[in-house]
Structure 1
Amino acid sequence: MVTPILSTKRLSLRKMKVHDFKNLMEIFSDPEAMKYYPATKNGKQTNEWIKWTLDNYAKYNTGLWIVEDKTSGEFLGQCGIVPQEVDGVIEMGIGYLFARRVWGNGYATEAALACTNYGLQQLKFRKIVALIDVKNIPSIKVAERIGMKFKKTTIKWGKKVYVYSVSK
């Protein structure tokens, strides 16, 4: 059994491993799940994503974690805290992306709240941001439910994104 980084009432969050490739491809190959990303990801891009995540663990002691059902161990998605460049400044940003088959169950909100609290309390980040495509209403609702407030609109990844944040 892998030791979780975090757990909630229903969820267990653990470090990503190379063997998570197949589970991540469930999300990355789904055009609907990837609607607000530049594109779906192929196998090479997914391996690069895993490497980037593992590098974040080493550099920042945080990153995206695999979210699993606490009881069954079923893969649900990923959520965590990663460095994001916002208007020339590196901020720690919450990220969440779940398999479409589990949308609507509150998993993103539950995981994002746990990660945000962990980042502010255990990792002592002064604030955590969320960068959200202006059309991504479900993600905006998650950010608001975890206590984030709209701060501004900026350009990131070649498009307009909202910057939400929460501070200690």
Structure 2
Amino acid sequence: MNDDTPRKRRSVSTDHFSTDRLTAERLNESHLADLVALHQDPEVSRYLGGVRTAEVTKAYLATNMAHWDQHGFGLWALRTQDGAFAGRAGLRHIMVDDIDEIEIAYAFTRSAWGRGFASEIAVAMTRIGLSELALPSLVGIIYVGNVASRRVLEKSNYVLERNTNRHGEDVVIYRIGA
């Protein structure tokens, strides 16, 4: 899609949704402290481009809230059934090799690792993107060494499309179509 092509604005029916074990709420200012803690964990941030300062995370939050306003979808904050912050996940426009794509994205707190939450949310994001938003395809962009995220997308029926380099890092692109 080039910049002259009008984009159909799509939106999810609600700013909230639930999976079997997670609740999701449209990202907003109240999530800043949780996002800062998430982004400052070196293990969590290893495959997110590195640890981010509070200021960088605040700008990240503003950018992602604006994405919602512009496109009618974006990132959600995730909580477990007991209300604990588990991470963030969603769908967002991203340029990949000069092509506007919609990326499935997720990051979880270390306390949420190994519990199947990434697979659970990947299935939900894929359903929302392909069914509710009627997007033609979604991509996952994963650092080559992030074996766990690669497995999540493969279990969710994403297909390895190609290797590429983004911001000096070797990544793989996975895709699923409608």
* Worse-superposed segment, 21-30 or 130-139: 21-30
* Worse-superposed segment, 112-121 or 5-14: 5-14
- Identify the residue that residue 7 of structure 1 maps to in structure 2: 18
Give SS of 2:45's match: coil
The reply on whether 1:78 has 2:107 as its aligned counterpart is no
The code of the aligned residue for 2:44 comes to A
Note the alpha carbon deviations across 1:136-160, whole angstroms, 9 max, x for none: 1011011111110100011112211
Within-5 A mapping of 1:43-122 = 43-69=54-80, 71-122=81-132
Task: Determine which of 141, 160, 166 is the counterpart of 2:151.
Answer: 141
1:134 is displaced (CA, Å) by 0.5
Task: Tell me the TM-score normalized by structure 2.
Answer: 0.89
Give SS of 1:41's match: coil
- Identify the residue that residue 162 of structure 1 maps to in structure 2: 172
- Identify the residue that residue 19 of structure 1 maps to in structure 2: 30
- Where structure 1 has 5 or more consecutive residues not aligned to the other structure, the ranges are none
- Identify the residue that residue 31 of structure 1 maps to in structure 2: 42
Give SS of 1:22's match: helix
1:6 is displaced (CA, Å) by 2.1
Q: How many residues align?
A: 165
Identity of aligned residues (%): 28
CA-based RMSD of the aligned residues comes to: 1.1
- Where structure 2 has 5 or more consecutive residues not aligned to the other structure, the ranges are 1-13
- Identify the residue that residue 11 of structure 2 maps to in structure 1: none
Task: Tell me the TM-score normalized by structure 1.
Answer: 0.94
Distance 2:32 2:91 in 1: 20
1:98 is displaced (CA, Å) by 0.3
The code of the aligned residue for 1:158 comes to G
Distance 2:167 2:120 in 1: 27
Distance 1:42 1:166 in 2: 33
1:37 is displaced (CA, Å) by 2.5
1:87 is displaced (CA, Å) by 1.2
Distance 2:44 2:25 in 1: 21
Contact 1:56 1:63 in 2 (8 A): yes
Note the alpha carbon deviations across 1:16-69, whole angstroms, 9 max, x for none: 111111111221111011111222011101101110110110111111111111
